Amino acid sequence: MTFETLGLQPRLVTRLAEQGITEPTPIQTQAIPHALEGRDVMGIAQTGTGKTAAFGLPMAHKLLKAGTKPDPKSVRGLILAPTRELAKQISDNLRAYTEGTHLKVNLVVGGASLNAQSQRLQRGSDLLVATPGRLIDLIDRKAVRLDQTRFLVLDEADQMLDMGFIHALRRIAPLLRKDRQTMLFSATMPKLMAELSRAYLTDPVRVEVAPPGKPADKVTQGLHFVQQAEKTALLIEHLDAHRAELGLVFTRTKHGANRLAKSLEKAGYAVGAIHGNKSQGQRERAIKAFRDGELKVLVATDVAARGLDIPGVRHVYNYDLPNVPDNYVHRIGRTARAGRDGRAVAYCAPAEMSELKAIQKTMGREIPVLGGTRWGGDGIETQGRQSRGNGPGKGNGRGKPSRGQSSRGRSRGRKAA
């Protein structure tokens, strides 16, 4: 199967080939023909498998075929994403697919100038990628209109539900054409997704290339049981073993991300941090420096769990386990991208056992233990004292409580990022 045999416009096929993209992925092979036929699509696939092209190429094909330009302030195709990073990644991909054509791709997200975004929307958009909150801001300012929108895409729709965007969707959807085509894509399938599908999709075809909650096959996972206060020292040992490679570290809170980044900087690492309190410019500069290798370590909250497509990321460290188990799958999906291998290491403190159990239940399997011994209900190892070892995969769990520390190893900062 090739993009040409899928029926895409030759200009798009040529542009893909120029980027070295010649063979469609499974989600693209299954979703694109249905999308080209005008069907509503519900696509379920692991992160990093090419969902953006699965919905972006059919829309670009149809807009090129129409050969017309958008009216002022109007939008012909709308893609909603839950985070700025994901929205930016989608818009970058769409611009790459459509370079050299007349199609205009715009991006509107929070943390940037409303006036500048309003001006960019004046001439209309063939494809508009937006976060829901910022789009509503622009609607209220009458800077954009959706009455001509023929295509609606909800990307990472499960996270939209988690982040409370359902109210924004209820306000945005009625503004679009009733005869629109709607596509919904996600890596997981929570129960609320069925309700979302019934509300916004008409007789959708379901395309599923991996079981919901299944991590990417090429990610090697490992788990260390470790006291909360000793996580930083263990992380530094693991980072030291791979100083030349990019490492992405996830924390649960914004404050925790800042604190950890400062500790790693003192330890001699070129490190940056991104989270919800950073401006869009700060986040983009940090991501670019990380992508270019100027930063070897990036500490982030779950704002980076989706949409961060940096093929050079070889290691993902779950410094704090996520409160939402699906986010673990998304986090570790930041490595092993574009067919590469990757490694994901999780650190579990005594107070995080419930999060670990939820994650393993979601994946349907246990994470291999690399160090430490499983915590009991009292926060003490269930099989006695463990060895320190010399690094990842060698039993360096640092599970013994440090002097003066409560054996419960309180997990600090459980407020969501």
Residue 387 has a pLDDT of 35
Residue 378: pLDDT above 70? no
> For the stretch 194-221, what's the b/e string if a residue is b when 16 or more beta carbons lie within 10 angstroms of its beta carbon?
eebbeebbeebbebebbebbbbbeebeb
State CA 411 to chain mean position distance.
Answer: 25
Distance between CA atoms of residues 414 and 417, nearest Å: 9
Q: What is the mean pLDDT of the chain?
A: 86
pLDDT digits (tens, 9 = 90+) for 155-180: 988 878 766 788 899 999 999 999 99
Please check whether residues 29 and 126 belong to one and the same domain: yes
Asked if 228 and 183 sit in the same domain, the reply is no
Residue 126 located in a structural domain: yes
pLDDT beyond 70 at 379? no
Tens of pLDDT, residue by residue over 247-278, are 999 999 999 999 999 999 999 999 999 998 88
Residue 411: per-residue pLDDT? 36
Q: Both 52 and 128 in a single domain? A: yes
DSSP H or E stretch at residue 160: helix 157-162
**DSSP for 89-108?**
HHHHHHHHHHTTSS--EEEE
Task: Say yes or no to pLDDT of 380 above 80.
Answer: no
Quick one: 289 and 178 in the same domain?
no
What is the average pLDDT across 94-121? 95
pLDDT confidence band for 382 (50 / 70 / 90): low
Q: Average of pLDDT values for 138-162? A: 92
pLDDT grade for 184, boundaries at 50, 70 and 90? very high
Three-state SS at 316: strand
Residue 390 pLDDT > 90, yes or no? no
How confident is the model over 169-193, as a mean pLDDT? 87
**Co-location of 64 and 192 in the same domain:** yes
Mean pLDDT over 94-119 rounds to 95
Q: What is the mean pLDDT of residues 369-389?
A: 66
User: What pLDDT sits at residue 93?
Assistant: 94
Task: Give the pLDDT score at 198.
Answer: 84
Whether residue 369 contacts residue 226, with contact meaning beta carbons closer than 8 Å, is answered with: no
Mean pLDDT within 367-386 = 73
- Look at residues 333, 351, 371 and tell me which one is the last residue of a structural domain: 371
Residue 241 has pLDDT above 70, yes or no: yes
Q: Is residue 401 part of a domain?
A: no
Share of the chain above pLDDT 90, in %: 65
Whether 114 and 40 share a structural domain: yes
State pLDDT tens for residues 39-80: 999 998 876 678 999 999 999 999 999 989 999 999 999 999
My answer on whether 266 and 200 are in the same domain is no
Q: What's the pLDDT at 107?
A: 97
Evaluate whether residue 5 is within a structural domain.
Answer: no
Residues 38 and 135 in one domain: yes
Q: Say yes or no: 184 and 227 in one domain.
A: no
Instruction: Provide the domain count of the chain.
Output: 2
Half-sphere exposure of 171 (CA within 13 A, CB side): 13
Q: For the domain that residue 58 is a member of, what is the CATH number?
A: 3.40.50.300
Write down which residue in 182, 208, 234 finishes a domain. 208
Q: What is the CA radius of gyration of the chain?
A: 22
Domain range for 158 is 10-208
Task: Judge if 106 and 223 occupy the same domain.
Answer: no
Q: Give me the pLDDT at residue 158, please.
A: 80
Q: What is the pLDDT of residue 267?
A: 95
Torsion of CA 338, 340, 341, 347, to 10 degrees: -40
Tell which wins on pLDDT, 60 or 395.
Answer: 60
Q: Verify that 225 and 203 share a domain, yes or no.
A: no
Q: In the prediction, which pLDDT does 212 show?
A: 56
- Among 37-41, 240-244, 337-341, the least confident range: 337-341
For residue 416, is it within any domain?
Answer: no
- Rounded CA-CA distance 304/80 in Å is 16
